[in-house]
Amino acid sequence: MKTVLITGASRGIGKEAALKFAKEGYTTYLTCSNSIYQLKEVKDEIDAMGKAPCYIFQCDAKAYDKVAEMFQNLPPLDVVVNNAGISFYGLLQDMTVAEWDQVLNTNLSSMFYTCKLCIPGMLSKGAGRIINISSIWGNDGGSFEVAYSASKGGVNTFTKALAKELAPSNIAVNAIAFGVIDTDMNGHLDANERQALIDEIPAGRFGTTKEAAEMIWQLANSPAYLTGQIITMSGGF
């Protein structure tokens, strides 16, 4: 039975990805930093499918010692989805150093920790897939989202570099740069701001979490020769 670790799986893209992998018969290992009750609800949904086991962990993704402790309870993994992330919306000059550190550590350092710890198991299996969740702002930068954009830009170059290291070992590393997906991360937008943003998207709508999960699933099952890529899914934005 194949295994997948998905960080930040209590809601949004992470939750839908967890449900998709579970439906396809994967043993799922799911994490959250704070929303353990929501994550338990995700586990309940997966358990109700009756297809494969699900294990959940409350683990601060930006704390290396906590991530390392969790990995002591994990088998070698087939797929890792680095989805844990937060945003900060506001002017850079109004951002505190603590807020900057929190965004960079949650979005970028957490991915380093997970990759560092999952690679030995994938090497022992002779195969693996690492999928990093990025953003179109990591490609182009977003006004009022400098820290978030910087962290996702780091995700992109991290992905390309690590892919080169691991390609000889049959481990593919790719990222998906999502556009505007309808999740809680966009909760700061009022109705007028949402509509103005929709008007900029050629597809005429926000993406859904189920569409995002389907893209993650497809990438997890793509040929190993597809590696080091930043795949943009944005509705043409």
Tell me, what's the pLDDT at 97?
98
Of residues 26, 29, 113, 148, which has the active-site annotation?
A: 148
Instruction: Look up the CATH number of the domain holding residue 123.
Output: 3.40.50.720
55 is catalytic: no
CB contact at 8 A, 30 and 42: yes
Tell me, what's the pLDDT at 211?
98
- Across residues 2-24, what is the average pLDDT? 98
The chain-wide mean pLDDT, for the chain, equals 96
Query: Cα–Cα distances in Å, from 96 out to 3, 84, 92, 100, 147?
Result: 39, 21, 9, 6, 11
| Domain of 116, in residue numbers | 3-233
* Percent of the chain whose pLDDT exceeds 70: 99
> What gap in Å lies between CA 176 and CA 212, rounded to an integer?
9
pLDDT tens digits, one per residue of 103-125: 999 999 999 999 999 999 999 99
pLDDT tens digits, one per residue of 139-186: 999 999 999 999 999 999 999 999 999 999 999 999 999 999 988 777
CB atoms under 10 Å from CB of 48, counted, come to 9
Total-model pTM: 0.96
- The 8-class DSSP code of residue 75 comes to P
Asked whether residue 237 carries a pLDDT value surpassing 80, the answer given is yes
3-state secondary structure of 175: strand
Position 187 confidence tier, pLDDT thresholds 50, 70, 90 = low
Query: Cα–Cα distances in Å, from 229 out to 23, 35, 42, 45, 175?
Result: 26, 31, 30, 32, 6
| Domain count along the chain | 1
Asked whether residue 190 carries a pLDDT value surpassing 90, the answer given is no
β-sheet bridge partners, residue 4: 28, 79
Asked whether residue 226 carries a pLDDT value surpassing 80, the answer given is yes
- Provide the H-helix boundaries in 58-208: 64-71, 97-104, 110-125, 136-140, 146-166, 191-200
pLDDT tens digits, one per residue of 32-62: 999 999 999 999 999 999 999 999 999 999 9
> What gap in Å lies between CA 213 and CA 18, rounded to an integer?
8
